[in-house]
Structure 1
Amino acid sequence: MNATDPAGPTEPSAAGHGPAHDAPSPETGPSSGGPSTGTGPSAETGSAASGGGAADHRDAPAAASAADAAQPPAAAGPDALLGPADIRELAAALGVRPTKQRGQNFVIDANTVRRIVRTADVRPDDVVVEVGPGLGSLTLALLEAADRVVAVEIDDLLAAALPATVAARLPGRADRFALVHSDAMHVTELPGPAPTALVANLPYNVAVPVLLHMLATFPTIDRTLVMVQSEVADRLAAPPGSKVYGVPSVKAAWYAEVKRAGAIGRNVFWPAPNVDSGLVSLVRRSAPLPTTATREEVFAVVDAAFAQRRKTLRAALAGWAGSAAAAEAALVAADVSPQARGESLTVEQFAAIAEARQRIKGAGV
């Protein structure tokens, strides 16, 4: 589905944490893909943390008690996915009350999560990692299609409740599910076999840093499908030369072939958010970029180039290279015009600049 395909009422948006109201779309960030500067809450649960989170932050024992007390609604029929009534019932039992003021939005349409799983091309042998599962809408759909699902959730209450929801709705698949109770930005290993796919409705205020962190940390992730704020989706998939091409575009392209995979409407959330959403597909490159420069070295060039995007690269890279003359020397050696600007360069050209500077420094120039 292309970027302009609207999500109709029967096939709407993603699950887990959804759109934050007025959530920022990060343009820059540390070379390592560190936290964004956004402050908006995550969608489904209202936390600014990268694994999601509820507005009612309780300590772990209290959260576990609340989760134990809440009886997840069992599937009424052969369909194990959560519907609107199930979402509201589970939220009420857990004491989670979504409000527009706090940017909390629950996905209430099962066709949406089916669409995500289908678009993500989840396969029977996949080990899928999901960030920010929230109440488990997307988790259940992934478990029906994949071999295993590992969900990363930061919120105490939601993390305590999710295993019970899985056991109640998909008892035959519960042993194929694992929960990591942690901030996704701090996750460096996952239980069980290495993940092959990342499918998530990312908390929007930290979507880009979390995405880049997961791709860097788990090189076995071959296919990714994430739902993010529509503006961020445009930035991630933007080609060189476009108005929204920037740091997220280049850094995502370092890892993968990136494209928009669909548009998501607002009417599938409870309550409806103030922003539109989009799906982004990332298929990891079959081979790393042919460069001797490291990811950190290339990303440092990218950050410098877009920190002053109105300036020519000769001026914008002066601080990075040590002087404007040194920047020009690296640019010329990389066959890039010193008068060009960052938004016109491909990720391969950024890598060439980093490599050229590396060669020049090695030669003692």
Structure 2
Amino acid sequence: MTIRLLGRTEIRNLAKELDFKPRKSLGQNFVHDANTVRRIVSASGINKHDHVLEVGPGLGSLTLALLDRGATVSAIEIDPVLAQRLPKTVAEHSHSEIHRLTVLNRDILGIERSDLVEPPTAVVANLPYNIAVPALLHLLAEFPSIRTVMVMVQAEVAERLAAEPGGKDYGVPSVKVRFFGKVRRYGMVSPTVFWPIPRVYSGLVRIDRHEVSPWPTDDGFREKVFELIDIAFAQRRKTARNAFLEWAGTGNESAERLLAASIDPARRGETLTVADFVRLLQRSGDFTASTDSSEGPSRPAQVF
């Protein structure tokens, strides 16, 4: 049975029923265009075997489209009014599919593995703009079972996530998401498909986790790599030699560590790939490789 999706009139009626006014502080802009949510779900590649984690389901536009695809959905909604209404909305639109929906009235940044009955295999969401990057990094780190991420984010955020080394948009988010997998853009979304209409365009981004990680994936290793990334971009116009002075101890030691990792000390942080940062850590002697990866299968610790 095909699930009836929400349209502009139904979105407005739901908001009126709840006496609900979208809050800018929570990034509450709701999609009312059925073609847009179908496009997102189709691009995600999910099927009936997936357990999808949806962040910020709002009034349920994307939730209904995910259920229509046959997936099981765990929807994490921070707004208690919206969290309470969502199961009723799904039941009204498809009586037979409500058993595949779980709603948690929680902050996504505090969600842990123990909060879900089964590990999620995918994230599909219209992410609130103000927490998009922290939410992505938290979920990828907390749930190694997630293989695919398809999110709609502010266009500027999408550009940063998918930016290549050396580009003006390349920065900390660009590098950190690539620690987990491959990142691709999937086009733009007009503000007119939202209520209320935002002042910016949105972009679709897909992340596919490495089937076999090229580097260790335990928490300790990841945190140390992320520290190096933060250092390099703290003053992005500095050369790598100068950026890593405090971390390495002296200018000569900084240069030696970079050269040992096959990185020209004159390069700037904005040109370094995630593999460069991993190699810099591995060849610095500042870490002990873990053989216990929290993210499942990975290759043994290796030097690039």
Deviating more after overlay: 189-198 vs 342-351: 189-198
Residue equivalent to 2:242: 315
In 2, are the aligned partners of 1:178 and 1:191 still within 8 Å (CA)?
A: no
In 2, are the aligned partners of 1:127 and 1:146 still within 8 Å (CA)?
A: no
1:205 Cα shift? 1.0
In 2, the alpha carbon distance for the partners of 1:340 and 1:298 equals: 18
1:302 to 229, 233, 236: 229
Residue equivalent to 1:114: 38
Residue equivalent to 2:68: 144
In 2, the alpha carbon distance for the partners of 1:145 and 1:99 equals: 29
1:231 to 156, 163, 174: 156
In 2, the alpha carbon distance for the partners of 1:210 and 1:102 equals: 13
1:325 Cα shift? 2.7
**Percent same amino acid at aligned positions?**
49
- The RMSD of aligned alpha carbons is 2.2
1:104 Cα shift? 4.5
SS of the aligned residue for 2:285 comes to helix
Residue equivalent to 2:94: 170
Q: Which amino acid aligns with 1:196?
A: T
Residue equivalent to 1:349: 276
In 1, the alpha carbon distance for the partners of 2:27 and 2:77 equals: 18
Distance 1:350 1:101, change over 3 A: closer
Are 1:161 and 2:85 an aligned pair? yes
Residue equivalent to 1:217: 142
1:102 Cα shift? 8.9
In 2, the alpha carbon distance for the partners of 1:152 and 1:100 equals: 18
Which consecutive unaligned segments of at least 5 residues does structure 2 have?
290-304
SS of the aligned residue for 1:294 comes to helix
1:360 Cα shift? 9.3
Residue equivalent to 2:294: none
In 1, the alpha carbon distance for the partners of 2:186 and 2:213 equals: 23
The answer to which structure, 1 or 2, has the higher relative contact order (CA under 8 A, 6+ apart) is 1
Residue equivalent to 1:50: none
1:147 Cα shift? 3.0
SS of the aligned residue for 1:182 comes to coil
Q: Which has the higher helix share?
A: 2
| Equivalent residue runs for 1:24-173 within 5 Å | 79-98=3-22, 104-173=28-97
In 2, the alpha carbon distance for the partners of 1:348 and 1:359 equals: 16
In 2, are the aligned partners of 1:128 and 1:146 still within 8 Å (CA)?
A: no
2:259 to 332, 335, 352: 332
Q: Deviations over 1:288-345 (max 9, x none)?
A: 1235981011111100000010000111111222333332221111010111111111
In 1, are the aligned partners of 2:150 and 2:204 still within 8 Å (CA)?
A: yes
SS of the aligned residue for 2:192 comes to coil
Are 1:276 and 2:191 an aligned pair? no
Alignment: residue pair count: 286
Residue equivalent to 2:296: none
Residue equivalent to 1:57: none
Q: Which amino acid aligns with 2:222?
A: R
Which consecutive unaligned segments of at least 5 residues does structure 1 have?
1-76
TM-score normalised according to structure 2 size: 0.89
In 2, the alpha carbon distance for the partners of 1:322 and 1:155 equals: 47
In 2, the alpha carbon distance for the partners of 1:266 and 1:131 equals: 19
1:118 Cα shift? 0.5
Deviating more after overlay: 192-201 vs 319-328: 319-328
Residue equivalent to 1:22: none
Q: Deviations over 1:226-254 (max 9, x none)?
A: 01110110110111111111100000100
Are 1:260 and 2:202 an aligned pair? no
In 2, are the aligned partners of 1:103 and 1:273 still within 8 Å (CA)?
A: no
Residue equivalent to 2:105: 181
Distance 1:360 1:211, change over 3 A: closer
Residue equivalent to 1:64: none
Residue equivalent to 1:48: none
